[in-house]
Structure 1
Amino acid sequence: MEYFVYKWLHILSSTLLFGTGIGTAWYLLFAVISRNVVVIAAVTRIVVIADWLFTGVTMIVQPATGFYLIHLAGYPLHSRWIMWSLALYLIALCCWLPVVWLQIRLRDLSAVAAATGGELPRAFWRCFTGWVILGAPAFFALLAVFYLMVAKPV
């Protein structure tokens, strides 16, 4: 029973992690494409909150439940699928940490532009470019982790 409870928590957490990532990326991307500064300011504010609330928590819950499941199931920690999963998860984490800072910058820069009725500064566009560049490898790394968790290839 303990294994299934932790497996359920692990799957729920992965769903929240991936779903929040996809959802916030989708809304932020299309808000920015709209070039409506007021919309961008509102969406970036919500994205920062969602990222801390959901992604931040699940980035901790995932490895905690994952390592415990490895222990409960008796999988060797050096199994290739586990090692690849950990490496890919670390890639996603290393991309996400600067993305958090970039999203905060995007929020702050767009809030100032919206409040003053101005345009988005160059710094906003540089941060947005970095956000896109870091989001792509994180997305594909987590897709690969999903595959490895389900298939568990030897």
Structure 2
Amino acid sequence: MDYLLLKYLHLIAAVFLFGFGMGSYLYLVAAHRGNDPRVIAAVARMVVRFDAWITTPAGFVQLLSGYAMVSLAGMPWSTDWLRGALLIFFSVGALWLPVLLLQKRMQVLAEQAAQTGTVLGARYWRLYRGWLWMGVAGFGGMFLIVLVMVTKQAPWQWF
């Protein structure tokens, strides 16, 4: 496959990862401002769906297209910026599965509260806080990985 086509796929996957991920995150955060379990359940349902169908596959496209570009270019895997990018990518990825699980649990609890007409309990808010801070860490990593890829320098080379 042509290198420029791979680069295009890699960039589009990054846009989907960042765009859909950030959009989903912000919509779910915004849904919590009204503290209405019906709204939270509806938004959480969409977020879970989008993250499963769009954001997660984009992560795989990102990884595969990056691998293909490095292989096609004959770049050594020991390059500092590449090792840094992979370290950040897999660190953010390690947050992703727990985030997906938390979102699904939050969706179920919000649906139950909406169906029974009750408020969201302490368990729900504990899950939400964990999800919120994992999102902050994950998006911090995504900002960092874009910086690494643009500058072609590992974070430890900046100092």
Report if TM-score (shorter chain) is over 0.5. yes
Judge which range, 143-152 or 14-23, deviates more: 143-152
Alignment of 1:3-22 (within 5 A): 3-22=3-22
Instruction: Indicate the SS of the match to 2:78.
Output: coil
**How far apart are the structure 2 equivalents of 1:110 and 1:48?**
13
Identity among equivalent positions (%) equals: 35
Unaligned runs of 5+ in 1: none
List per-residue Cα deviations over 1:70-113 (Å, max 9, x = no partner).
11122211101000000001111011110000000010000011
Matched position secondary structure for 1:47: helix
**5+ unaligned residues in a row in structure 2: which ranges?**
155-159
In the alignment, what sits opposite 2:60? 60
**CA separation in 2, counterparts of 1:129 and 1:76?**
40
Equivalent pairs counted in the alignment come to 154
* Aligned twin of 1:98: 98
Paired with 2:89 and 2:11, the residues of 1 have a C-alpha distance of: 15
After superposition, residues 41-56 of structure 1 pair within 5 angstroms as 41-56=41-56
Question: C-alpha distance in 1, partners of 2:141/2:78?
Answer: 19
1:107 aligns with 2:111: no
Which residue identity does 1:26 align to in structure 2? L
Question: Which letter does structure 2 place at the counterpart of 1:22?
Answer: M
In the aligned structure 1, how far is the partner of 2:62 from the partner of 2:98? 19
User: How well do the aligned residues superpose, as a CA RMSD in angstroms?
Assistant: 1.2
Distance 1:139 1:91 in 2: 11
Please give the alpha-carbon distance, in whole angstroms, between the structure 2 residues aligned to 1:104 and 1:125. Answer: 14
1:120 aligns with 2:120: yes
